[in-house]
Amino acid sequence: MACPMSAALCTILSLLPYNFEYQTPADLASPKQLHDGDVYDFIIVGAGPAGSVLANRLSEIPSWKVLLLESGGEESKLGEIPAFQPFLSQTRFTWNYTTVPDDRICAGAPCLWVTGRGLGGGSLHNNMIYNRGNSHTFDEWEQMGNAGWGYEEMLYYFKKSENNQDPLIARNKIYHSTKGPQTVSQFPYVDKNVKKIIETFHQLGYPDADINGVNQTGVCLMQHLQKDGGRQSSAKSFLYPIREKRNNLKIVTNVRVTKVIINPQTKEAEGVEYTWENKRHVKGKVYARKEVIISTGPMATPQLLMLSGVGPNKTLVPLGIDVIQNLPVGQNYQNHIQSGSLNFTLNDTNIMMPNDEETLRDFLDYFTKRRGPLASEGFFDVSAFISSRYTDSSYPDVQIICSKISTLE
């Protein structure tokens, strides 16, 4: 079937699957660094946003040996391009899970549940939005008995990680910092229609808002985890700067942890069993003096716990898994809740379309200057937080996000 886009764009897109899927020989050889029976102080399973930060923080103590295990590999250079985000949801950077068909969701078809895989985890494929959440939510968690999870305590750690590069936002030192490892800023390119959308919300009475500041209600040109028009994954921010400098940190890719070794008497984690992702017959065990930390995301974490004997009896017993602790693991999983969209037709767009000259110009602009349409996510750059009748203006409960649907005539 003929490609409906420009010849130049079709040629470029035809190369993407190979480049996204490609792994270097060094990356694929990574498991050879692992030796059966080795002992560490901490074993971290999963190198996503949580695992990357934990590996960075724990390895700050030189006397602690830290092992970080990841089933995926290194990130792709093409994955750094913001405009290529739609191409990333079904690549080696995700597990490509789908749900059982249900008439109540996704029009009865299986829903694609995208969860990250590789150094950086979900930050390799997500929309890079920098949104900490609402302060009321953290305070509610603390009031429910979760000490240390109040917004005032959490704000310290948000700022510890943040390197905010937008002067007008960063000048608010109460809520922001420029000293952390995670670079945050607005994209260097803003689509003309994004400006019109923001103006529309202004006309409706919504002010400009810093959604990570004192009040979320309003409209904003969102900040993203990006630097100079390129994705800043958690691995790029927290792992790559230290991986060759700290001898007490070992990072091993393409290794899947299949079980947490738990002492049935003390019910303490002692280590993990693993297999090579590309050579399943190669297996081994490594042990932890202090802790095994599971940070494999909302789907893989309950799966690994259940494989290790921690989960509901009704699930584990029929599978022949010895139950160490009967717990309702994974039974409160929730994904994004969203409604259908309102669609509008635009007369003027900057979306890459059939014109060879414009397409090549955009690519040249990005790869030489890190500017132009490729250095943003278009309409997705703008968002508004509003309050329904069920809440007050200090605690918005509706987020409006704009996205594009491209059509050709």
The pLDDT assigned to 53 comes to 97
Q: Is 83 exposed, middle or buried (0-12, 13-18, 19+ CB in 10 A)?
A: buried
Structure tokens at 74: 């290194």
Domain architecture of the chain: domains with CATH = 1-128+232-295 (3.50.50.60), 129-231+336-401 (no CATH)
Q: What is the pTM of this model?
A: 0.89
Structure tokens at 40: 């560490």
Identify whether the C-beta of residue 370 lies closer than 8 Å to the C-beta of residue 230: yes
**Total count of residues recorded for the chain:** 409
Query: Which of 399, 253, 249 shows the shortest CA–CA distance to 338?
Result: 399
Query: Which of 89, 103, 53, 46 shows the shortest CA–CA distance to 69?
Result: 46
Name the residue with tokens 């968002």: 383
Cα 27 to Cα 392: distance, rounded to the nearest angstrom:
51
138 sits in which H/E element: helix 135-143
Helix (H, G, I), strand (E, B) or coil at 294: strand
Query: Which of 313, 293, 391, 359 shows the shortest CA–CA distance to 68?
Result: 293
Q: pLDDT by residue (tens digit) across 28-62? A: 778 888 999 999 999 999 999 999 999 999 999 99
The pLDDT assigned to 301 comes to 95
The pLDDT assigned to 78 comes to 84
Identify whether the C-beta of residue 197 lies closer than 8 Å to the C-beta of residue 214: no
What residue type is assigned to position 395 of the chain?
Y
Structure tokens at 330: 């994974």
Per-residue burial over 349-375, b if 16 or more Cβ lie within 10 Å, else e, is ebebeeeeebbeebbebbeeebbbbbb
Cα 180 to Cα 176: distance, rounded to the nearest angstrom:
10
The pLDDT assigned to 354 comes to 47
Cα 121 to Cα 234: distance, rounded to the nearest angstrom:
8
Cα 196 to Cα 342: distance, rounded to the nearest angstrom:
17
Cα 112 to Cα 125: distance, rounded to the nearest angstrom:
14
pLDDT in tens, the chain (409 residues): 455 455 655 655 555 544 677 777 778 778 888 999 999 999 999 999 999 999 999 999 999 999 999 999 998 888 899 988 888 888 888 898 888 998 888 888 898 888 899 999 999 999 999 999 999 999 999 999 999 999 999 999 999 999 999 999 999 999 999 999 999 999 999 988 899 999 999 999 999 999 999 889 999 999 999 999 999 999 999 999 999 999 999 999 999 999 999 999 999 999 999 999 888 888 999 999 999 999 999 899 999 999 999 999 999 999 999 999 999 998 888 777 767 677 777 766 655 444 567 778 888 888 889 999 999 998 889 999 999 889 877 789 889 988 776 544 4
- For every residue of 205-262, DSSP letters joined together read TPPB--TTSS---EEEE--BSEETTEE--HIIIIITTTTTT-TTEEEE-SEEEEEEEE
Cα 175 to Cα 64: distance, rounded to the nearest angstrom:
32
Look at phi and psi of residue 320 and say left if phi exceeds 0, alpha if psi is from -120 to 50, else beta.
Answer: left
The pLDDT assigned to 238 comes to 97
Cα 235 to Cα 55: distance, rounded to the nearest angstrom:
10
What residue type is assigned to position 392 of the chain?
D
Identify whether the C-beta of residue 382 lies closer than 8 Å to the C-beta of residue 376: no
Query: Which of 24, 18, 11 shows the shortest CA–CA distance to 91?
Result: 18
In the chain, how long is the greatest CA-to-CA distance?
69
Cα 254 to the center of its chain, rounded Å: 18
